[in-house]
Structure 1
């Protein structure tokens, strides 16, 4: 039996939750999405790419994208496909330069295959996001392909079946909010634009085309910038004279989290860096990270000081060198909640928005060169209008007059030369002259001189309703806690080929990267030959234990005895289990380490 005080707390929490959901939050401002991302890079590695990507720079571009992401906090996965998944890496947490090196080494190891089926690559990328996407991160898929299918005639696969699966995968991406950016590779003039354009258009991504693979790094920079709401800042393009040549680098404000300086060139370059005080800095060092690849160098300045820096670049004589700059900002734009009132044509809505980082106001310095506008879309006519807002030095202010009875979606966009931010859109419903922008408040009590009977029926119905609401809140709270419960410890995974006795090196997987549950298939990097382990699931248990549920045909043994884990079995510290697969003659050994 729930005590009344606890019941009241549950009801109060539910009301607050409902208020936040329906109004967009009234405890402060409505903030735009996170800057952290979950990115899946998808590349066609069929033989046809030898012509459409003659210089093989598609892999270089993917590595550059990895290097441009923040040093910590993102997740990246990779899919290489032909008419099947050749290699893939599930979303892995990137928290160090070594994590990035591991991903780039994986990209370098990709091999080509004979056939092509674009539906296979897109479908697998969507599945990877479904399995490992962190809801607090911004999802993105980047697809590099020539848009052509070349199916194996000896198989039962048909173009119709491929098209159906592609449509289904794109629909899933659209429904779940996974934008797909497509890059059409056209070195041989045989690019099939239509499917790539359709994929990007339907999912809210963008389509790019290149006839020379050398431009891929620039395109990847633009995709990264578009998704992270920053801008590619062209710094300098020049032809090397074989000596050190100076390139000015301007850090516009103190809110820059990272400055990414990309130097693309035909041959390796030498670099020197000087801070605003004129002192030469060591490359690399703790706050200056350097990544190199065949066609580019990327210099990442962590929390650089505001001011004029100097980069010196020495390239091979007559080599063409392009220098671009992208900033990573830990800054969000927040719009003040609109007044909770009835809206109608002619009403004037006050608009206020401000920048913040980690919930705190930013330095006034950041506002100096910024401009902001209110973007309004009439949801009936789909027409969009823009209204300039005033920069107050600590925020942006203005107003909007509702022109007619309709529903409107409004948001604020603020930008300067290196980045921009947008608030989450808010809907104002003035279609019936009685719409509201936020959740309605309880009507004020009206008292009359005339007495009326006590509304027992209403009280009883209300009480029953509150009890049901409380029960629902308890259930939702329990489900939410279960879905977001964290793991402790890690597992060591070994794979044994039962035919040859060959054993893989132990792979250590930290479970703290997951919430609620994790499938064994994810821990095995989603390798296709281990597909049946999709139904072997680990869940966090009590007192630093691990639960395993087996709904597959795999056999699980512990200490030589078969476990019936269909309804879950507990694993304790240092427990070791053997999972025998049915589709291939291999076994997976899992050690639970706390």
Structure 2
């Protein structure tokens, strides 16, 4: 056992040593990594009665469903929050891996009901919590808020406008600090839109504000949101008035790296569509290569890994009906820049710049892909807060250039590449020339100091260093255990039934998937943070071993299992199909919880 522990300790020491070497090394081979194409999105919608006027055509529903249809089936996550002056319904982040997953979310959207009052802070606050609880750190987080921006608080409650404003300000600050941009879509069918609130939310979180009263603007709005967030470009295709005959629209696929082409056809009346590949052969809609989604206001065609070339779309609409068509590509490409190799620079030094397109970690060698592309180096002087751009050379397999440091300042640099349908940026890199300022250019003396040669070996320093290293290892192991515990995933789901002990009335089971959470989840979160069940804030679920669930009860609630009171103050294990009863103390209600794997 001691030998095993020693070997484990040796491995940790070796790993730590390698980590230190990599951190202290002068050069870092490879490319600086960029974020992927996936996103974790929370759609937030005002479902108060006032929306009956400001969103009388249910543009919000169409927008949310269209957003879901535009996402690719490759581990994107989408959640939904419907709010009034409380959370009416919510759906935690669901990973989209099939059309069935998309249909599940769209059916949830269609099932949303209206409520009496409005408190925008409630919706934004809950969206931030959902991203906190279930987002993938490798995905780009985003919140899309659909509302008229107005509050209508219940005068019979203790809630004031000042409290709502304070909570909204806090939620917006959290979203900004955590990198959750909020894109706001103002719904203005009745002309009562509160632009100021929605514009401020978007501006303060690095999102964007849009406004519409009809569904025909949705393709452009959602395309811009996708493009801005995932660094894509919207390709305007055509707007025309239908004449009752099939009208042909060219759909150019510029290269073989297009992962998906989303063709949105906006029409208030039904359209008939046919699709032809670059060889002129008709392609079946839908099929494995072509997916079709329809709604009351749009038709969405998604080409999956389409062949490069000129496709053709034939659209037959109702005579005199206006039809708008937009195209947006999802690329399986990233732009990556070679890291800066020197530890420090000074004014006058030349920094070599190289960047290339990468797919699945490999450089893309496709002259056709680079043919129409232009790249620019963006240099942000962090000292003077000024930005300059340097044109880079297109080599046919990448981009090259250089940047001459004008002053002893700190610079943030990144490369931007684009063509008519594509836009990518690298992660910014820091070039630090500020710390060399005033240090002079004299070289260190190479004369040997005889006194230095006669100094004894610094045993005290070495031993002290080893002790510090061991302390760091211990701290690292402890931090690693805490990290693993905090990020351990759940298995299965729970079903919750609410029973009114006074009337015996029982609610339908509410199924809550647990795989959207990491580390722990409070029962109050699963109860949609309803104030009535506030005491469940201290009833906590933790992932256990072998697909079990641990429940910890730090509240005054009584928990029973098989008719016996369960002491869960220090945690109790729940196995597959276990059923517990949680008796509340603040209200005469009970919760029946089933653990389903």
Measured after TM superposition, the shift of residue 425 of structure 1 is 1.1
User: What are the equivalent positions in structure 2 for 1:121-520 lying under 5 Å apart?
Assistant: 121-210=123-212, 212-364=214-366, 365-433=368-436, 450-488=453-491, 490-498=492-500, 499-502=503-506, 504-505=508-509, 507=511, 509=513, 511-512=514-515, 514-520=517-523
- Asked if the contact 2:92–2:516 (Cα under 8 Å) also holds between the matched residues in 1, the reply is no
- Asked if the contact 1:243–1:314 (Cα under 8 Å) also holds between the matched residues in 2, the reply is yes
Per-residue CA deviation, residues 223-263 of structure 1 (Å, 9 max, x unaligned), is 12211211111111111111211111111111111111100
Per-residue CA deviation, residues 155-211 of structure 1 (Å, 9 max, x unaligned), is 322221111111111111111111111122333333222222211111111122335
Residues 1:578 and 2:559 aligned together: no
Do the aligned partners of residues 274 and 396 (structure 1) sit closer, same or farther apart at CA in structure 2, a change above 3 Å counting?
same
Per-residue CA deviation, residues 380-399 of structure 1 (Å, 9 max, x unaligned), is 22211111111222221111
- 1-structure distance, mates of 2:24, 2:413: 16
- 1-structure distance, mates of 2:158, 2:489: 44
Do the aligned partners of residues 446 and 26 (structure 1) sit closer, same or farther apart at CA in structure 2, a change above 3 Å counting?
farther
What residue number does 1:107 align with? 109
Report the aligned-residue RMSD.
Answer: 2.9
- 2-structure distance, mates of 1:207, 1:379: 28
- 1-structure distance, mates of 2:55, 2:19: 51
SS at match of 1:253: coil
Specify every segment of 5 or more residues in structure 1 that has no aligned partner in the other structure, as ranges.
436-442
- 1-structure distance, mates of 2:355, 2:227: 23
Residues 1:80 and 2:82 aligned together: yes
Q: 2:595 aligns with which of 579, 588, 591?
A: 591
Do the aligned partners of residues 387 and 318 (structure 1) sit closer, same or farther apart at CA in structure 2, a change above 3 Å counting?
same
SS at match of 1:549: strand
- 1-structure distance, mates of 2:89, 2:26: 41
Measured after TM superposition, the shift of residue 471 of structure 1 is 0.9
Per-residue CA deviation, residues 25-78 of structure 1 (Å, 9 max, x unaligned), is 935211221221111111222333333334221211111011101123111111
SS at match of 2:11: helix
Number of equivalences: 585
Measured after TM superposition, the shift of residue 4 of structure 1 is 5.6
- Asked if the contact 1:62–1:220 (Cα under 8 Å) also holds between the matched residues in 2, the reply is no
Do the aligned partners of residues 317 and 548 (structure 1) sit closer, same or farther apart at CA in structure 2, a change above 3 Å counting?
same
Q: 2:31 aligns with which of 29, 41, 51?
A: 29
Q: TM-score, normalising length from structure 1? A: 0.91
- Asked if the contact 2:27–2:341 (Cα under 8 Å) also holds between the matched residues in 1, the reply is no
Q: TM-score, normalising length from structure 2? A: 0.91
What residue number does 1:548 align with? 551
User: What are the equivalent positions in structure 2 for 1:530-545 lying under 5 Å apart?
Assistant: 530=533, 532-545=535-548
- Asked if the contact 2:26–2:342 (Cα under 8 Å) also holds between the matched residues in 1, the reply is no
Do the aligned partners of residues 19 and 337 (structure 1) sit closer, same or farther apart at CA in structure 2, a change above 3 Å counting?
farther
Name the stretch that deviates more: 551-560 or 130-139.
551-560
- 2-structure distance, mates of 1:25, 1:293: 54
Measured after TM superposition, the shift of residue 459 of structure 1 is 0.9
Measured after TM superposition, the shift of residue 433 of structure 1 is 1.6
What residue number does 2:441 align with? none
SS at match of 1:208: strand
Measured after TM superposition, the shift of residue 16 of structure 1 is 4.9
